[in-house]
Structures are given as structure tokens and as C-alpha cells.
Amino acid sequence: MRTIVVLIAATAVTVVGAVTSTLAAPRPTFAACEALSDQRGSGRSDRTHRTFMADCLAGKIPFNTGVRPPTPAQTAQLQSYERCEALAESRGSTTGRDHRSFINQCMAGKIR
């Protein structure tokens, strides 16, 4: 009796595995992963590129970008950063720790 239950369970697992693999999305081609790598700026000769290609060929990298437009808060922060950057440049603060401090204070609203 136990042997029959084990055989039925093993058969069920095999059938479910076969159905799942046939319904799964096909794996991407090397050319498709290479194009996606170029699109996302992964480079072509470094370790990051090799890792990206391995993950892409394994199906771990989604091809849909899923990029949403920036929220109003993100847009305001970007505009604020650009305004602070321009203000820093006009005041002569363009590099180093002082520049980062200036930008942080400006973004916090402490510098006008």
C-alpha cells in the first residue's frame, strides 16, 4: 500500500513539473539579453556585464521596464536639487565636502 502511495505521489510531482515547465515563459536568447544589457548600460567587458548576462539568460532579469513616471514629490525634489546646484555654482561652491554640505543644507531649506 505504501509503495502505491509513493508511486502516485512521485507521478503527480512529475506531471506537475512537466506542466509547469511547458507553461513557463521561454528563456531569453543571448541576443535579447545583450540588447537589454546595452539598453540598461551594463557595459560589455566587466564583471557586472557577465553577471547581468548570466542572470538574464537564467530568466532572473525582467524584460518589461515597469518604469513609472516620477511622482510630484520626486519632481519637486529634482527641481529643488537643480536649483540648489545652480545656487551653489553661483556662490562658488562646486566641489568637495563643503559643496555636499551646501547642497544638503539647501535641500533642507536652510539656505535661500
pLDDT of residue 22: 47
Distance CA 13, CA 102 (A): 62
- Are 16 and 48 in a shared domain? yes
Quick one: pLDDT at residue 19? 47
**Plot region of 54 (φ>0 → left; ψ -120 to 50 → alpha; else → beta):** alpha
What DSSP string runs through 47-62?
HHHHHHHHHHHTT-S-
pTM: 0.37
How far is CA 74 from its chain centroid? 18
Enclosing domain of residue 76: 72-107
Which cell numbers hold the place of 28? Answer: 531569453
Considering the domain architecture, whether residues 10 and 52 belong to the same structural domain is answered as yes
Note whether residue 90 is domain-resident. Answer: yes
For residue 14, what pLDDT is reported? 58
User: Total structural domains in the chain?
Assistant: 2
What 44-53 contacts at long range (C-beta under 8 Å, 24+ apart), as own/partner pairs, is none
**Do residues 98 and 106 lie in contact, with contact meaning Cβ atoms separated by under 8 Å?**
no
User: Is 28 within a domain?
Assistant: yes
| Residue 67 domain flag | no
Task: Report the mean per-residue pLDDT for the chain.
Answer: 75
